[in-house]
Structure formats: C-alpha cells, structure tokens
Amino acid sequence: MKISAPFDTAEEVLLLIKAGADELYCGVYSDSWKEIGTYPNARYIPYGNLESFQQLREALMIAKKYNVPVYLCANEFLGQDASEFLLKDISQAIAIGIDGFIVADFNLIPSIKRLKKTSKIILSSLNPCFNSSALRFYKNLGVNRIVLPYNQLTLEELKDILKEAQKISMETEVFSTSGIMCKNVNGFCLYHKIGFKNLYKSKYKYGHSVAKEILRWLLKAFSHSLNKKIRKMIWTSNLYPHTSCREKFDAEVLEKFDGRYIKQNTPKEFLFNMYFQNSYCTVCLKWLLSKVGLTAVKIEGRGRSTEQKIKDIKTARKYTEEMEKGYINDDNFEQRGKHIIRIIHGFNCLDENCYHIVLSQNRLALKKLNEI
C-alpha cells in the first residue's frame, strides 16, 4: 500500500521521502495566478503551495533521484478562461517532468491526455465517486486512480467500490490520519467558497485588507523561508476567515405539515461547527480496506508544518509495515493503531476523531438537518 504525501517547498521533499513517502503531491500558486486573483487548486492559502515552476523543477529533480513520482494538484473548478490558463500550467508541468495530475473537473482530462498520453490522472475527492457505476464512468474517461470520499461512505459501500475497482484495474486511495475535518460532501459544498468570495462583505473585510497589504510587503522584505513562516501566522489568525460554515447563522426552520412546509415563528441559530468540524482519524481503516485492494493512502496537509507531515507519514508507514509483517489482525487492529499514534504523535486517540464513530455522528446530523 503506497503512502502519498504533500509538500510545500522543495526543501521538504527529501525529508518526506526519508520519512516513508512513496509518492508526493503539491500545488503551484505562481505570480500569474496572484494577478488574476484566483487559485488553480483547492488550497486557498499561499503557504500551502509552491510559488513557481522553478521550485517544482527543483522538487522533481530530488524526487526522481529516489524514483518517487510527483503529482500536481489541479483540483479546482474554474471558468473557461481560467481553465485555459490552468492548461498552460499543466503543459509547463509536463515539460519539466511531472508524473501526473490530481484533478476535480473531469473536463480537463482529455486535454491532459492530448498533451501527454501517459500522464497519470488521479480524480480528487472533490469530484466524489459514490458507486461502481461512477467508477466505470471515470475509468472510461481515462482516470487511473480515484480518491474515495470515505467520510461519506459506509465501510460496506467502500468495500463494494474497492472490489469493483479491482475488477476494472482502477487504483483507489483514501485519506490517512486525521486530516479531513469537514463532514459535508466536498464536491457539492460551496461554504468554503463563500468564505473567500464574500470577504469584502463580511466583518473581516478590514482585517483581510490589512493582512493582504502585510503579505504583499512581506514578499519584498524577507527571505523565502521566513516569508512562509510569517505569512502562515497571519493567514491562520483571526484576521482572515477560512470557511463560512464556521460562522453562526440565523436559519429559518421549516416544518412539514399536511404536505406543505410552514416556517416556525422563532428562527433558530445553528453553529455549523457543531455538526461539520471534527477531524477524522483513519489509521485503522487501512487494515479493513487492505483486504479488498486499496492502492494508496493520502496524507492530507498542504500548508501544515514539516514536522506534522513527517509524523503523519511515519504513522501510516508504521501501521502499514505492521500489517505486512502480520502483526495486525481483526482482533487488535484498533489497539495497534492507537498505540502507534500515541508513540509517534504523543497523544491518545479520541472517540470524536474515530472514523467509525464520527461517521455515525455525521449520519445522525444529516438526518436531523433533513428533518427540518
């Protein structure tokens, strides 16, 4: 089972490979994208991306020495003009030796294949695959691997999809460790976009303006490494909002009565954070899915510290090695996962972070919302 890990600087590449990464992935947020004011991939923070294709070239040179493939994130849904701009990035990445692309908009796939037929296509969970029919559809489009939206599927549904994937020789991947925080269906949810596109209409508009000016000044004033550290502090502070679903909303609550929906007299306030913002830990899920052909696990964390990425890789690697050596079985797979996390990360697993428990909470929350 392969371990795919993210990197934000060329300096991280060798460290992540030595920690146990079999594959690497990244995004590039170049000056050209800054000028047009949008992002080429679904990581809307500058410190979570490389800043130029020269940095990508340097990273590829290191990775190729160790025969580690590198994939470029192009997993954003863009308008026609921006998509054509993204294709220029893709063409440039192919020219310097990228191994493949992580995409969400499948309209990009034919264009990528025309540029380089052997480019590997990994379908992002932002274009979710929920069943075997979708799996075959994406296979026919030219997708080589699918990142499954495990936070929206039961274990039984995952296993059924993985069995079908084996039949049609489709690679599969799920996120590993505790990277996924949201229980919404990523591909269908617009809350994260609202948070960024309505900045100037929000209470954060002045803070954002200040942060933007500081960031622009930092680009000229400090070295690249120090620049990244300071920008990360600013962008993760309260100066800048990250997702609208973490805000409080006054919602009109409707009740179904005699075939009609009637608004309740008193609006209720919902804190979406209550329902949708728990991390998922899936370390132990690898054991349950290894029997039905899971190809890879993906470490989430573009923008996280190098130390955190290394710990997540080591956790996935240690668990995978114990599976391969026969130390893990149906009776102890959870205990071994908890032990590895405690040793490497220095904390105990929590029930609210467990994939199985959180998934149950998710379905209960969705049921409550659907009853409104």
Task: Report the chain's terminal Cα–Cα distance, integer Å.
Answer: 42
State yes or no: pLDDT of 38 exceeds 80.
Answer: yes
Give the number of C-alpha atoms closer than 13 A to the C-alpha of residue 141, restricted to the C-beta side: 22
Share of the chain above pLDDT 90, in %: 45
Segment 67-74 shows an average pLDDT of 98
User: Which pLDDT belongs to residue 211?
Assistant: 58
* Cα angle 33, 199, 108; round to 5: 35
Distances (CA, A) of 258 to 255, 261, 262, 319: 10, 8, 10, 54
Query: Nearest to residue 277, comparing CAs of 171, 180, 137?
Result: 180
Which pair of tokens denotes residue 272?
A: 């979406």
User: Which pLDDT belongs to residue 283?
Assistant: 85
Residue 329 DSSP one-character state: -
Mean pLDDT, the chain, integer: 80
State yes or no: pLDDT of 116 exceeds 80.
Answer: yes
User: Which pLDDT belongs to residue 231?
Assistant: 61
Which of 17-21, 58-62, 281-285 shows the lowest per-residue confidence on average (mean pLDDT)?
281-285
Domain ranges for the chain: 2-183+278-364
User: Which pLDDT belongs to residue 275?
Assistant: 46
pLDDT band for position 233 (cuts 50, 70, 90): low
pLDDT band for position 205 (cuts 50, 70, 90): very low
Rounded CA-CA distance 122/21 in Å is 17
State yes or no: pLDDT of 199 exceeds 50.
Answer: no
Which of 64-78, 150-164, 192-206 shows the lowest per-residue confidence on average (mean pLDDT)?
192-206
Segment 262-278 shows an average pLDDT of 51
Q: Residue 53 in contact with residue 31, Cβ under 8 Å?
A: no
Q: 2-183+278-364 sits in which CATH class?
A: alpha beta
Q: Is the dihedral of CA 138, 78, 173, 279 positive or negative?
A: negative
Segment 245-249 shows an average pLDDT of 54
H or E stretch at 175: strand 171-176
Which pair of tokens denotes residue 64?
A: 């190729």
Helices and strands (H, E) in the chain, number of each type: 15, 12
Which of 185-189, 271-275, 311-315, 368-372 shows the lowest per-residue confidence on average (mean pLDDT)?
271-275
